[in-house]
Amino acid sequence: MQYNFLDQKDPQMAELLKLEQTRQRDGLALIPSENYVSPAVMEALGSSLTNKYAEGYPGKRYYSGNIAVDKVENLARDRAKSLFGVPYVNVQPYSGSPANFAVYFALLEPGDAFMGLDLLHGGHLTHGWKFSATSKFWKSVPYGVLPDGQIDFEALEKSAQENKPKLIWCGGTALPRLIDFERFGKIADEIGAYLVADVSHISGLIVGGAHPSPAPFAHLITTTTHKTLRGPRGAMIMVTEKGLAKDAELPEKIDKAIIPGLQGGPHMNAIASIGVALHEASQPEFKDYSRRIVENARALADGLIEHGFKLVSGGTDNHLLLVDLTPGGNGRGVFLHEALEAAHIYTNKNMIPGDPSTPFYPSGLRLGTPAVTTRAMGKDEMALIADFMSRVAEKIKDVQLPGDKESRLALLKEFRASLQDAFYSDIAAEVKMLCDRFPVEV
């Protein structure tokens, strides 16, 4: 790996970037929100548009010199509209959290009630988690999932009738099952609330036809652009036909919430790069890609179940899996996450619904297949990955989380030292051999 300029101009930083490239190239990226962008997406992101300020919107900027950037933003917007089948898109949010904040800012008054999936049940921080600013400025009324991992629609409907939220979020970050957007739409319509679908995790599956679209049922859709959609870090807010019918001013309200409400200059390089990713997502190969993501997630689920792992909801309909580690003891997610990392298998510890432990020591592990599918791995490779994971889990099966804080910290220190064992570097070598067979541009 070589850089044209960095190697000379800033070798210290160049070394760090190479360290990360090596990690991405030689390890298994199983974090469901991560992916590998194409060289074309990366090129647009590193283009001269990074030099340009363009506060405002196409045709209405506060800076001169917009010949190219106006066309870039319009092209990205048009591509998103056509791909998601919606009449309006804002492509300027810096990322998912700012996009969701803009929705609150556009639609709610301070103190208004809203509903979102509890973080501990797979929701996002910005869907009303108690430590998020969203629950400081607006009144968060969370809903949850049933023990089988499905949304508890009965409780949600009852609570919606009682609390009359102005806005209901659907979507999440750790939901392995299809989202019934139609049922959400009915509940929101009964009380006159806005339904906002945050499809950050599954937007690539939606445009690829591997997950139903919320467009007929939601008023607004938010999504990040860097997960299954395989673009750069960024986000979009869309207004659907249904949203326009409810409030024809929604596009203007969203635009104003982004700027001057929350943001200044849009990151035009990211917007160009989003445009490239949207173009890629409109190609026939992307349909195949999104289908294979789900196929691989199911194969990985089957492989893990064969090795004795328990999965929340018993499997998956999308790109992600949530492993319930409680059969081996509570709060063990951190140990498996770190042990797998020592073997160059990257996952993330995660709460499971009704978790008996705490967010730092959760009882689950979240996995996903978007990145390994980008590397063109398939079902056979998912079986190998399940085998690697099972060997690592077996190695640490006797590690149990102590009850008190001091003992936990002491154990974690001792556990981390144990990860120097050759057992992990040997598996990492096998992981590298697998990765070498499925090269990826990083």
Closer by beta carbon to ligand DSN, 160 or else 235: 235
Closer by beta carbon to ligand DSN, 33 or else 66: 33
Backbone conformation region of residue 230, classed left if phi is above 0, alpha if psi is from -120 to 50, else beta: left
Closer by beta carbon to ligand DSN, 33 or else 90: 33
Active site residue 414: no
CB of 33 to ligand DSN, least distance (A): 3
CB of 16 to ligand DSN, least distance (A): 22
Active site residue 224: yes
Active site residue 134: no
CB of 123 to ligand DSN, least distance (A): 10
Decide: residue 42, CB within 10 A, 0-12 exposed, 13-18 middle, 19+ buried: middle
How far is CA 203 from its chain centroid? 9
Treating both helix axes as pointing N-terminal to C-terminal, what angle do 268-281 and 67-84 enclose, rounded to 10 degrees? 40
* Residue 198: φ, ψ to 5°: -95, 100
Decide: residue 144, CB within 10 A, 0-12 exposed, 13-18 middle, 19+ buried: middle
Closer by beta carbon to ligand DSN, 27 or else 122: 122
In whole angstroms, what is the distance from residue 314 CA to residue 296 CA? Answer: 15
Residue 128 sits in the site that holds ligand DSN (CB under 6 A): no
Active site residue 227: yes
Of the candidates 126, 173, 222, 224, the residue annotated as catalytic is 224
CB of 124 to ligand DSN, least distance (A): 6
Length of the chain measured in residues: 442
Residue 347 sits in the site that holds ligand DSN (CB under 6 A): no
Of the candidates 3, 53, 57, 94, the residue annotated as catalytic is 53
Residue 116 sits in the site that holds ligand DSN (CB under 6 A): no
In the set 27, 56, 96, 171, which binds ligand DSN (CB under 6 A)?
Answer: 96
Residue 33 sits in the site that holds ligand DSN (CB under 6 A): yes
- Residues sharing a CB contact under 8 Å with residue 396, sequence separation 6 or more, in sequence order: 335, 336, 339, 415
In whole angstroms, what is the distance from residue 297 CA to residue 293 CA? Answer: 6
Residue 368 sits in the site that holds ligand DSN (CB under 6 A): no
Maximum CA extent, the chain:
64
* Residue 18: φ, ψ to 5°: -70, -35
Closer by beta carbon to ligand DSN, 33 or else 159: 33
Of the candidates 18, 233, 287, 432, the residue annotated as catalytic is 233
> Residue with structure tokens 């294979």?
292
Of the candidates 177, 227, 230, 395, the residue annotated as catalytic is 227
Q: Which residue is nearest to ligand DSN (CB)?
A: 33
CB of 320 to ligand DSN, least distance (A): 9
> Residue with structure tokens 């981390």?
416
Residues contacting ligand DSN: total by CB under 6 A: 4
Helix then strand count (H, E) for the chain reads: 18, 15
Structure tokens at 327: 């059969």
Residue 124 sits in the site that holds ligand DSN (CB under 6 A): yes
Distances (CA, A) of 170 to 98, 122, 151, 392: 17, 11, 10, 35
How far is CA 137 from its chain centroid? 24
Of the candidates 55, 247, 387, 430, the residue annotated as catalytic is 55
CB of 32 to ligand DSN, least distance (A): 7
Residue 173 sits in the site that holds ligand DSN (CB under 6 A): yes
List residues with catalytic annotation. Answer: 53, 55, 198, 224, 227, 233
Contacting residues toward ligand DSN, per CB under 6 A: 33, 96, 124, 173
